[in-house]
Amino acid sequence: MEIFQKTAELMHWRNAHRPQSVGFVPTMGALHAGHISLVERAKSENHLTVCSIFVNPTQFNNADDLKYYPRTPEQDLEMLQAAGCDAVFMPDEVEMYAAPPQMRLHFGNLEQVMEGAHRPGHFNGVGLVVSKLFHMVQPDVAYFGQKDLQQFLIIKRLVTDLSFPVRLVCCPVVREPDGLAMSSRNMRLSKQAREQAPALYRALNVAKQRILNGEKPDLVCAEVAAQLNENPSFHVEYLVLVDTENLRQVHHPQACEEYALCIAAFVEQVRLIDNLIFRM
């Protein structure tokens, strides 16, 4: 497995392996089985697989969140080696941002709801770093997890509007045995918070079933969020039913259409997100 810290070295390697296809998995490290499932999917569909590890400062609007984001580089490399990854790109901040970026990206409605409403500037940072990584890695296919559904739709818009020659693949959420969506942030959960966190997934399933039974989504989401908030360890920022293509809130779901129930909540001091996609 090759490890690159400089863009020039990575691009030289990439050019030396043309026309072999490259599958790309961008990450912020602190890898878990969900990330590895993306690497395995990339390996199964491409000649070569590249994974990047970079905790991107431009997508954090909370200094403490950036400071305490888990970093486990040695463990990450061991996991990628075992998974058969071909190359890892591990730039530092200077390599990625020689100067503070001045460009601002706008994604319309996609960045004004859910994560965008609660984390202003977040998706500008996501768009910047993904654009730079696509230029540096020059992948044929890029793989993302469904847990970050809004991020995937933002990147889909980015690829469409800027004509990146990259095919995007959204892979299913990978969960712990108790249903908790795998996330690097789970490492920050206390023992008590970790025991309570699967309540988010249970809440999504309760809300889904009630909506399938014909109850009004707005009422269901409000009641389920209120029930979670009865636990003082929880603070739900949003629980909403949305269209899976444009993230517009759905008040009157139609038969045979696909929707996503999306949630963001603090469990103690750790902010987690999750979603369920289903068809009426």
State whether 24 and 134 are in the same domain: yes
When divided into structural domains, the chain yields a total of 2
CATH number at residue 93: 3.40.50.620
CATH number at residue 246: 3.30.1300.10
CA–centroid distance for 11 within its chain:
25
Angstrom CA distances, 80 to 43, 51, 92, 167, stand at: 12, 8, 19, 22
Q: Is residue 228 part of a domain?
A: yes
125: nearest Cα among 144, 111, 142, 105: 105
145: nearest Cα among 35, 31, 28: 35
Mean pLDDT of 116-121: 93
**pLDDT at residue 62, as a whole number:** 87
259 contacts 243 by C-beta, under 8 angstroms: yes
**pLDDT at residue 95, as a whole number:** 97
State whether 161 and 38 are in the same domain: yes
**pLDDT at residue 40, as a whole number:** 98
State whether 26 and 116 are in the same domain: yes
**pLDDT at residue 116, as a whole number:** 94
Note if the bond before 73 is cis, omega within 30 degrees: no
Q: Is residue 135 part of a domain?
A: yes
116 contacts 245 by C-beta, under 8 angstroms: no
Rounded Cα–Cα distance for residues 45 and 49 (Å): 9
3 state SS for 209-246? HHHHCCCCHHHHHHHHHHHHHCCCCEEEEEEEEEECCC
State whether 156 and 209 are in the same domain: no
Average pLDDT of every residue of the chain: 97
131 contacts 157 by C-beta, under 8 angstroms: no
Q: Which amino acid is at 132?
A: K
Rounded Cα–Cα distance for residues 55 and 30 (Å): 10
State whether 121 and 145 are in the same domain: yes
Identify the domain containing residue 77 by its residue range: 2-171
Mean pLDDT of 244-273: 97
pLDDT (tens digit per residue) in 132-176: 999 999 999 999 999 999 999 999 999 999 999 999 999 999 999
Q: Is residue 213 part of a domain?
A: yes
**pLDDT at residue 273, as a whole number:** 98
> What percent of the chain stands above pLDDT 90?
98
pLDDT (tens digit per residue) in 33-68: 999 999 999 999 999 999 999 999 999 988 889 998
Q: Is 35 among the catalytic positions? A: yes
Choose, from 12, 17, 32, 35, the residue flagged as catalytic.
35
Q: Last residue of some domain: 125, 141, 171?
A: 171
Q: Last residue of some domain: 116, 145, 171?
A: 171
pLDDT (tens digit per residue) in 55-104: 999 999 888 899 989 999 999 999 999 999 999 999 999 999 999 999 99
State whether 31 and 91 are in the same domain: yes
Find the length of the chain: 280
Q: Is residue 179 part of a domain?
A: no
Q: Last residue of some domain: 126, 145, 171?
A: 171
State whether 148 and 228 are in the same domain: no
Q: Is residue 178 part of a domain?
A: no
